[in-house]
């Protein structure tokens, strides 16, 4: 198994280059071999004509002398008459094997061409001519071997050069190609170690550039989640710590008998209150974490939302009556597709806040509208309001606008986080607007029908 992607790439390129070179060599050689043979044929015929003229001018004896004086000519020459060989060039090797049929064909006036016949060893050109009223046949056998070996040499050189240059370039360019991948691997390892500061440079717009972009985005998201997790743990510890410290302090005081008799009851009541606070906090945390882990059963169905809202308000009547709030409820018949038990948590939390953060003799207004595909519920209340700076954060876990003032049994800054999560589960929307000291408005949108 080859482990380095660099090595894999190089071997891959080598394979491709070598196979393409061999193929191109074979193909080129065959294409050019044919062309060279055709050219050689025409050339040889021309040369043959020249030699014939020379023969006619010099006569047989003179021609023989001339041939002998030539030491190197790139072809062999044979001259035939009807009754046999007249003369041949000194380096002519082949004396036998000339087919009488071919000799006769030329002596009868035909031009014999046989350079391209690869199977035959008679690669010859035969030309008829007359000398002193006698018909003769001149056969010329060009040395093709040399020609082809030259072509081969040129091809070999070119191909070797391509191989050498190609491989050198591949060694260099592959390094560049592989570098970003090595960088990604390194960054991933760093991330695994918990380094959320690591980022990849985005140098190109190709797939690697896209990968780097996605990687950076993923790291940012992980960083945020990690930060949220840390904050969450810190918040939970803090929220658990304060009632526990109070309970412990009071228990010690009671145990040591430093509390007056008439105060004892009050201390026990405080311990009970703090334990309730702890129990309520852990319940809310469990609820939120099961919602976030998608462990709560989610069973949406169509039901009458207006009825659910009315019932919820009625159930909380004692709370709003306590503050002498005026409740203005005006909702037409509205059907919604949702999980009614989860949604009842939403309305309960929103109404509880509308009461809790209201002023004495304030007002709560609840309206409902039917839109094309959705229904919209608007819950507004008078009271302290929420400063603009806090608005973007109020759906975060443990976020409270004024922590010191809201430390009551029910107040942990978890209510709206639960609301938001449930609305998200329904693919709905929730938004908030507020004017400090006057009014806070929550708008919830839910689908009328399931998809």
Q: Rounded distance, CA 310 to CA 328, Å?
A: 11
Does 345 engage in binding with ligand ADP (CB under 6 A)? no
**Rg of the Cα atoms in the chain:** 51
Kindly give the interhelix angle for 144-192 and 5-69, rounded to the nearest 10 degrees. 170
Site size toward ligand ADP (CB under 6 A) is: 22
CA 297 to CA 306: how far, in whole Å? 23
Residue of 390, 396, 306 lying closest to 343 (CA atoms): 306
Taking CA 117 as the corner, what is the angle to CA 111 and CA 123, rounded to the nearest 5 degrees?
60
Cα separation, 223 vs 293, whole angstroms = 20
212 binds ligand ADP (CB under 6 A): no
CB of 350 to ligand ADP, least distance (A): 7
For residue 433, the minimal CB distance to ligand ADP (Å) is 11
Q: Count of H helices and E strands in the chain?
A: 9, 12
Confirm or reject binding of residue 415 to ligand ADP (CB under 6 A). yes
- In the complex with ligand ADP, the residue whose CB is nearer, 64 or 353, is 353
Alpha helix stretches (DSSP H) within 257-297: 261-292
Q: Smallest distance from the beta carbon of 414 to ligand ADP, in angstroms?
A: 6
Position 394 contacts ligand ADP (CB under 6 A):
yes
DSSP per-residue string spanning 336-391: EEE-HHHHHHHHHHHHHHHHHTSPTT-EEEEEEEE-SSEEEEEEEEESS---TTTG
Q: Which of residues 303-342 bind ligand ADP (CB under 6 A)?
A: none
- Closest approach, Cβ 410 to ligand ADP, in A, equals 6
Closer CB to ligand ADP, residue 304 or residue 420?
420
User: Binding to ligand ADP by residue 47, rule CB under 6 A?
Assistant: no
Name the residue nearer to ligand ADP (CB basis): 219 or 394. Answer: 394
Nearer to ligand ADP, 212 or 380 (CB): 380
411 makes contact with ligand ADP (CB under 6 A): yes
Residues 109-138 that bind ligand ADP (CB under 6 A): none
Instruction: Compute the half-sphere exposure of residue 245: CA atoms within 13 Å on the CB side of its CA.
Output: 6
For the bound state, the minimum distance from the C-beta of residue 283 to ligand ADP, rounded and expressed in Å, comes to: 13
Q: Which residue of 77, 247, 353, 362 would you call a contact of ligand ADP, by CB under 6 A?
A: 353
Contact window for ligand ADP (CB under 6 A) among 130-138, 317-325, 336-344, 413-421: 413-421
Using CB under 6 A, pick the residue from 180, 325, 357, 428 that binds ligand ADP. 357
141 is a site residue for ligand ADP (CB under 6 A): no
Residue 354 interacting with ligand ADP (CB under 6 A): yes
Structure tokens belonging to residue 397: 């876990």
d(CA 341, CA 298): 9
- Say if residues 290 and 296 touch (Cβ distance below 8 Å): yes
Q: Which stretch binds ligand ADP (CB under 6 A): 112-120, 298-306, 324-332, 347-355?
A: 347-355
Among 115, 386, 422, 430, binds ligand ADP (CB under 6 A): 386
CA–CA separation, 223 and 220 (whole Å)? 5
* Of the candidate residues 126, 368, 413, 428, the single one contacting ligand ADP (CB under 6 A): 413
Choose which of 180, 362, 383, 428 interacts with ligand ADP (CB under 6 A).
383
The answer to whether the CB of 166 falls within 8 A of the CB of 17 is yes
In b/e form, how buried is each residue of 283-319, taking b as 16+ CB within 10 angstroms? ebbeebeebeeeebeeebeeeebbebbeebbeebeee
CB of 3 to ligand ADP, least distance (A): 53
Q: State the minimum distance, in angstroms, from the CB of residue 280 to ligand ADP.
A: 10
Output the CA torsion 390→393→394→397 (10° steps): -140
Near ligand ADP by CB under 6 A, which window of 20-28, 134-142, 193-201, 393-401? 393-401
Nearest residue to ligand ADP on Cβ basis: 415
Sign (positive or negative) of CA dihedral 117, 119, 125, 127: negative
Site string for ligand ADP, 362-381 (x = CB under 6 A): -------------------x
**CB nearer to ligand ADP: pick between 123 and 397:** 397
How far apart, in whole angstroms, are the C-alpha atoms of residue 211 and residue 204?
Answer: 10
**Measured from the CB of residue 349, what is the shortest distance to ligand ADP in angstroms?**
6
Using alpha carbons only, give the angle 251, 257, 261 rounded to the nearest 5 degrees. Answer: 100
Query: Taking contact as CB under 6 A, which single stretch among the options 124-132, 159-167, 324-332, 405-413 is the one that binds ligand ADP?
Result: 405-413
In angstroms, what is the minimal distance from the CB of 379 to ligand ADP? 8
Residue 187 or 394: the one with the smaller Cβ distance to ligand ADP is 394
Interstrand relation of 374-382 and 429-435 (parallel, antiparallel or unpaired): unpaired
Tokens matching residue 194: 């918990």
**Where along the sequence are the contacts to ligand ADP (CB under 6 A)?**
349, 353-354, 357, 381, 383-386, 394, 399-401, 406, 411-417, 440
């Amino acid at each position: 198994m080859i482990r380095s992607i660099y090595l894999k790439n190089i071997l891959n390129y080598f394979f491709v280059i070598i196979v393409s070179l061999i193929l191109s060599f074979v193909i080129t050689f065959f294409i050019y071999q044919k062309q060279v043979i055709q050219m050689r044929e025409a050339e040889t015929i021309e040369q043959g004509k020249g030699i014939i003229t020379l023969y006619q001018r010099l006569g047989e004896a003179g021609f023989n002398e001339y041939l002998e004086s030539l030491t190197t000519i790139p072809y062999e020459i044979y001259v035939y008459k009807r009754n046999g060989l007249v003369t041949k060039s000194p380096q002519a090797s082949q004396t036998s094997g000339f087919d009488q049929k071919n000799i006769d064909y030329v002596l009868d006036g035909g031009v014999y061409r046989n350079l391209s016949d690869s199977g035959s060893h008679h690669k010859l050109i035969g030309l008829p001519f007359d000398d002193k009223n006698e018909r003769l046949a001149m056969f010329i056998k060009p040395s093709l071997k040399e020609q082809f070996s030259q072509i081969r040499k040129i091809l070999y050189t070119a191909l070797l050069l391509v191989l050498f240059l190609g491989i050198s370039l591949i060694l260099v360019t592959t390094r560049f190609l592989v570098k970003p991948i090595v960088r990604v691997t390194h960054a991933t390892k760093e991330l695994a170690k918990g380094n959320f500061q690591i980022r990849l440079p985005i140098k190109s717009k190709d797939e690697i550039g896209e990968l780097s972009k996605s990687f950076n985005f993923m790291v940012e998201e992980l960083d945020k989640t990690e930060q949220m997790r840390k904050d969450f743990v810190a918040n939970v510890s803090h929220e658990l710590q304060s009632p526990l410290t109070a309970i412990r302090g009071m228990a010690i005081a009671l145990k040591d008998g430093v509390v007056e008799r008439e105060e004892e009851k009050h201390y026990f009541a405080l311990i009970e209150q703090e334990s309730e606070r702890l129990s309520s906090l852990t319940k809310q945390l469990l609820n939120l974490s099961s919602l976030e882990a998608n462990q709560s059963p989610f069973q949406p169905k169509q039901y009458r939302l207006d009825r659910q809202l009315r019932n919820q308000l009625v159930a909380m009547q004692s709370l709003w009556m306590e503050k002498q709030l005026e409740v203005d409820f005006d909702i037409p018949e509205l059907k919604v597709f949702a999980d009614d038990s989860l949604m009842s948590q939403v309305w309960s939390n929103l109404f509880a806040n509308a009461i809790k953060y209201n002023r004495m003799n304030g007002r709560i207004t609840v309206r409902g509208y039917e839109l094309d595909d959705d229904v919209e519920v608007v819950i507004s209340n008078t009271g302290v309001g929420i400063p603009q700076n806090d608005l973007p954060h109020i759906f975060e876990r443990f976020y409270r606008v004024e922590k010191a003032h809201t430390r009551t049994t029910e107040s942990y800054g978890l209510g709206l986080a639960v609301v938001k999560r449930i609305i998200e589960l329904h693919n709905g929307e929730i938004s908030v607007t507020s004017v400090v000291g006057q009014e806070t408005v929550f708008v919830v949108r839910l689908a009328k029908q399931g998809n």
